[in-house]
Amino acid sequence: MYKVIAISGYSGSGKTTISEMLLKKINNIVYFDFGFLFRPLTYYLINELKLNEEEIKKMVLEKKLDQQIKFSYKIINNKVEIGINNYFYDYHVLNTPQMNMNTVTVGTIIGDHLNGFLKKIIDNLKQNSNVLLNARRPVAAYPEVDYHIFLESSFVQRVKRKILMNQESYEVTVKKLKERDEKEKNSGFWEKYNFTKTINTTTLSKDEVLEKVMEIINNEFTYFNNLTLILGAYNCNKNCPYCIAKNNQKFSIDDNLDNLSKIFSELIKNHIRFKRFVVSGNGEPSLYSLEELKKIRDAILEYKELFQLIRIHTSGKIFYEETKFNLFNSLHLPLEFEVLRVALDPKLDMTILGYGNNYLESDLFKNGKIKCDVALTDYLERENLLSQLNNFQRNNDSIKIIRLKQLLRGDKNNTPQATWVKNHSLDDDNIQQVIHELGLEIQNGVYYSSNQKIVYKPSGDYDYDYVINNGQLQNYRNEIYNVMELKRKAKQ
């Protein structure tokens, strides 16, 4: 079940900055700043219809607002944008100091009159993702919010922030902020509820505020990163020379899929959540029978609130298995298929990884949401890599993200697989060079391209990743856990 997190508070207390940081921190979240509705609406009423305050009040009182204006919305880069009569205004038009003041005035006049529309949007968004609201009266618009976080800060500190932001004099800033505070206070924008958590940001850095917000959100559930279902068949149509499954061979060949629902149910009962459920490895999942795959699909569906994202690792074969592909792709849950390549050129990739069908051409591949990992090896053509990657993504538009990946050697150093990785994988210095050449910027330990579609995440530790193998909950060192132990470990 997805959550609605609302942030409100004083002007200049950091609502927008923290909301932007949360957007990057929490998986599968859509950001809806109510200003995205009130700003274009304000601009339309004042600058296009040339209405004054009295005329706007009349229009609202006569309930003509949503009769005369057609509202629509779209989601761009995980943010909701609101269209007025199907027109989406430019950000810079809507974000001027004058628009800040006008929006408070118009927002005060409109009050709760558009709450029905706001609620409808939030209900729609919540079907598929968590929702982050940056709003002044969020609970009035959406009484079912799961968390309400209120940010406060001293007047002096807020003045300092506003001067930096708007480049206006001290006197002008103080005057405007006082007026704005007065209006917001009188309009109920500072309302708190019995479940509101207040954070005073006066002396805190952005990261410290973020940490406090995350503490509040995570308090209810214990979150882990990945729960990976490691299938035991060791059966694959590809012959990747770096295959870690063949390298390690450390997981059981038994699957005991009947235990899956039992484990999920225990996890739910103990308020444990995972960012991702990964159906993976030791081979290609689509080589499993339809009956076995249905057991996995049914367990996911029954306990879908356990995970924020479902990820299916595939050799690419599933894109030729329509029934098996649709078993997962039609779940109406956030779901992606992950493939791993060493070369963008299909022929080269097929030769090195020993497979016969160019899955990029399959219709199912084009219909899925794909995360394409590209291994950082000496098979990657480095010249003009950025435009190569961009072109690759443009030509295969079901690929939503390309993740550059450093291959791991696995637990043993002397296997043919480990030797291949040693001989072909780029070392840390070379990888840094690639990151530099691509112009990737680091944010919270992950490197991103400017359009956020190419990422490089250095291999982390897997201490907080868990697996299910042989119908048992384990870690990557094959240590078996029961759910209570898992919970205790999280609290340590």
14 near ligand SF4, rule: CB under 6 A: no
Residue 238 Cβ vs ligand SF4, minimum distance, rounded to whole Å = 4
Strands of 130-134's sheet in order across: 71-76, 79-84, 29-33, 130-134, 4-9, 147-152, 197-200
**Closest residue by Cα to residue 4 from 119, 171, 167, 103:** 119
Report the relative pairing of strands 446-448 and 454-456 from DSSP bridges. Answer: antiparallel
Selected from 9, 12, 14, 281, the binder of ligand SF4 by CB under 6 A is 281
240 near ligand SF4, rule: CB under 6 A: yes
Q: Which two tokens stand for residue 151?
A: 């940010």
231 near ligand SF4, rule: CB under 6 A: no
Selected from 59, 65, 229, 245, the binder of ligand SF4 by CB under 6 A is 245
360 near ligand SF4, rule: CB under 6 A: no
C-alpha distances in Å from residue 442, one per residue of 315, 349, 435, 451: 30, 29, 10, 13
192 near ligand SF4, rule: CB under 6 A: no
230 near ligand SF4, rule: CB under 6 A: no
Selected range binding ligand SF4 among 111-119, 281-289, 399-407, 422-430, rule: CB under 6 A: 281-289
Q: Which two tokens stand for residue 269?
A: 């009962």
**Closest residue by Cα to residue 364 from 409, 408, 400, 316:** 316
Selected from 132, 236, 389, 407, the binder of ligand SF4 by CB under 6 A is 236
Selected from 243, 263, 306, 468, the binder of ligand SF4 by CB under 6 A is 243
**Closest CB to ligand SF4 among 160 and 250?**
250
**Closest CB to ligand SF4 among 236 and 380?**
236
Task: Give me the sign of the Cα torsion angle 218, 224, 226, 232.
Answer: negative
Selected from 134, 308, 315, 393, the binder of ligand SF4 by CB under 6 A is 315
284 near ligand SF4, rule: CB under 6 A: yes
CA quadruple 76, 80, 81, 86: dihedral, nearest 10:
90
350 near ligand SF4, rule: CB under 6 A: no
Selected range binding ligand SF4 among 64-72, 97-105, 276-284, 373-381, rule: CB under 6 A: 276-284
**Closest CB to ligand SF4 among 255 and 284?**
284
Element (H, E) at 90: none
Buried b (16+ CB within 10 A) or exposed e, 23-37: bebbebbbbbbbbbb
**Closest CB to ligand SF4 among 83 and 232?**
232
336 near ligand SF4, rule: CB under 6 A: no
Residue 243 Cβ vs ligand SF4, minimum distance, rounded to whole Å = 3
**Closest residue by Cα to residue 120 from 29, 28, 37:** 37
- Chain contacts with ligand SF4 (rule: CB under 6 A): 236, 238-240, 243, 245, 281, 283-284, 315
